[in-house]
């Protein structure tokens, strides 16, 4: 089964089926019942239900004919002003079919639109407000120009809590006839970090390998090192065993196929679990930030990671002498 079919199979069709974002859904549902919604701006991290909520709004408003009154565009694919002047305007200038007096245009990842395209969109939203409502989705609302934000009701989304994500996991596991233990669930939440799309993708990949999903299978599929292994690297470094820490780091990166940026992200999280003084942890976090910046700028990952471990060893030795 392709990921698209898998996703569509478990995508909610009603407000009551959506997990998480209750602070947003209750307000949107009230607006939909009155069939008089304003332009909407959904802002938040990836994979937490922005597109799903937009589709549910369309389904609740238009029923079976929702696809005729709903236009979905991904602004990251078509970022220029032409998409606003052509596709959006052509759809917006026609009236809706059915009882609802307006159509819906959903612009996903609209923070990727150029500034000129956003200016054109601002004018289009104003001109066709009688026949069309816009739902804009973005990861960072700060990248949307103020004139657009002032025309929209802004709703901020947040990653799903563990309990909310586990409800979805239990539902999928039951329908797909899988078995999953508690440690595997913890690993799945740790890897996905509240991102439902990432959770479904990992779980589908695991299901393609085995019906018994374990912690090790999840870490292998997600190409993420186990927290215990990252903790061992840091423990060796702060004890001054630099060579052992370096060898462990390299073998872990090769075994899981991790990039320099991937392993730094995990190291940063595990630093807080070390049994060292808080000041030393802060110095290590500062070093992580510097190393990440250099990698983004194109520096050699192995040299920078070795330099980071060397700094950790010095910090650990200074901390132990106090």
The band of 20, judged by pLDDT with boundaries at 50, 70 and 90, is confident
Check residue 84 and give its pLDDT: 64
- Helix boundaries (H) for the chain: 3-10, 22-33, 50-62, 81-83, 89-92, 115-127, 146-150, 162-175, 182-192, 196-209, 215-222, 227-238, 242-256, 260-271, 278-296, 301-321
pLDDT, tens digit, 9 for 90 and up, residues 278-317: 899 999 999 999 999 999 998 999 999 999 999 999 988 8
pLDDT, tens digit, 9 for 90 and up, residues 110-158: 888 888 888 888 888 888 888 888 899 988 888 889 998 998 889 998 8
CATH of domain 227-321: 1.20.272.10
Residue 161 per-residue DSSP state: P
- For domain 162-222, give its CATH number from 3.40.50.300, 1.10.8.60, 3.30.1330.10, 3.20.20.110: 1.10.8.60
**Token pair in block for residue 22:** 């209750």
Check residue 243 and give its pLDDT: 92
Could you state, in order of their start, the residue ranges of all structural domains in the chain?
Answer: 3-156, 162-222, 227-321
Check residue 7 and give its pLDDT: 66
Can you tell me which residue has the tokens 């709703």? 155
Q: Are 24 and 54 in contact (CB under 8 A)?
A: no
pLDDT, tens digit, 9 for 90 and up, residues 179-193: 888 888 898 888 888
Distance CA 291, CA 122 (A): 40
Nearest in space to 309 (alpha carbons), one of 206, 260, 240, 262: 240
Distance CA 202, CA 217 (A): 10
φ/ψ of 270, rounded to 5, equals: -80, -15
Q: Are 185 and 166 in contact (CB under 8 A)?
A: yes
Check residue 100 and give its pLDDT: 79
pLDDT, tens digit, 9 for 90 and up, residues 63-78: 887 888 888 887 655 5
Q: Which fold has domain 3-156?
A: Rossmann fold (3.40.50)
Residues forming a β-bridge with 179? 212
Report for 6-15, 59-68, 203-212, 293-302: range of highest mean pLDDT: 293-302
Check residue 4 and give its pLDDT: 60
pLDDT, tens digit, 9 for 90 and up, residues 36-58: 888 999 998 888 888 888 888 88
Check residue 247 and give its pLDDT: 92
Evaluated on CA atoms 13, 16, 19, 21, the torsion sign reads: positive
Neighbours of 3 (CB within 10 A): 12
Mean pLDDT of the chain: 85
Distance CA 295, CA 264 (A): 10
**Token pair in block for residue 215:** 């912690």
């Amino acid at each position: 089964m392709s990921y698209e079919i898998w996703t569509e199979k478990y995508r909610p069709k009603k407000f009551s089926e959506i997990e998480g974002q209750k602070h947003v859904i209750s307000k949107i549902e009230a607006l939909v019942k009155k069939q008089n919604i304003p332009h909407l701006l959904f802002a938040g991290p990836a994979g937490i239900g922005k597109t799903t909520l937009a589709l549910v709004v369309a389904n609740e408003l238009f029923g079976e004919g929702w696809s005729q009154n709903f236009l979905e565009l991904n602004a990251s694919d078509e970022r220029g002003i032409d998409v606003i002047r052509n596709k959006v305007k052509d759809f917006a200038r026609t009236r809706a079919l059915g009882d609802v007096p307006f159509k819906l245009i959903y612009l996903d990842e609209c923070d990727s639109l150029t500034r000129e395209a956003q200016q054109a969109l601002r004018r289009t939203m104003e001109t066709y407000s009688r026949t069309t409502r816009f739902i804009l989705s973005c990861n960072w609302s700060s990248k949307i120009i103020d004139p657009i934000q002032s025309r929209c009701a802004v709703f901020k989304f947040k990653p799903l809590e563990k309990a909310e994500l586990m409800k979805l996991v239990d539902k999928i596991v039951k329908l797909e006839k899988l078995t999953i233990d508690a440690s595997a669930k913890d690993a799945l939440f740790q890897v996905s970090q509240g991102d439902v799309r990432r959770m479904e993708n990992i779980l589908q990949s695991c299901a393609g390998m085995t019906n018994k999903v374990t912690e090790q299978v999840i870490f292998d599929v997600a190409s993420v090192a186990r927290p215990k292994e990252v903790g061992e690297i840091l423990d060796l470094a702060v004890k001054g065993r630099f060579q052992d820490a370096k060898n462990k780091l390299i073998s872990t990166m090769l075994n899981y196929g991790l990039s320099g940026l991937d392993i730094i992200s995990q190291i940063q999280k595990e630093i807080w679990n070390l049994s060292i003084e808080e000041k030393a942890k802060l110095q290590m976090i500062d070093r992580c930030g510097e190393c990440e910046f250099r990698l983004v700028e194109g520096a050699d990952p192995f040299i920078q990671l070795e330099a980071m471990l060397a700094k950790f060893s010095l910090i650990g030795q200074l901390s132990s002498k106090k």
